[in-house]
Structure 1
Amino acid sequence: MGSNSGFNQHLTLTYRNKCRFNRIVCWVLNLNYSI
């Protein structure tokens, strides 16, 4: 988890931008990346 924190943070920021376009995608990704 520690070595991937930067990569996961990048994914979070990328998918947050997609939340604006598709709230369902945002919701699913929040479930997947909330760990």
Structure 2
Amino acid sequence: MDKLEAMMQPATLSDLPQLGRDILKGQVKGRVVVDVNG
């Protein structure tokens, strides 16, 4: 489970606009987990 956690990046809904730009630029690697409650 440590490898999975190392590949994950937590994000909140307010992070999504910048995160979307970063994804389109190819700057995001691994998985992004969006906390819809936070």
TM-score, normalized by length of structure 2? 0.43
More strand by share: 2
More helix by share: 1
Greater gyration radius:
2
Higher RCO, 1 or 2 (CA under 8 Å, sep at least 6)? 2
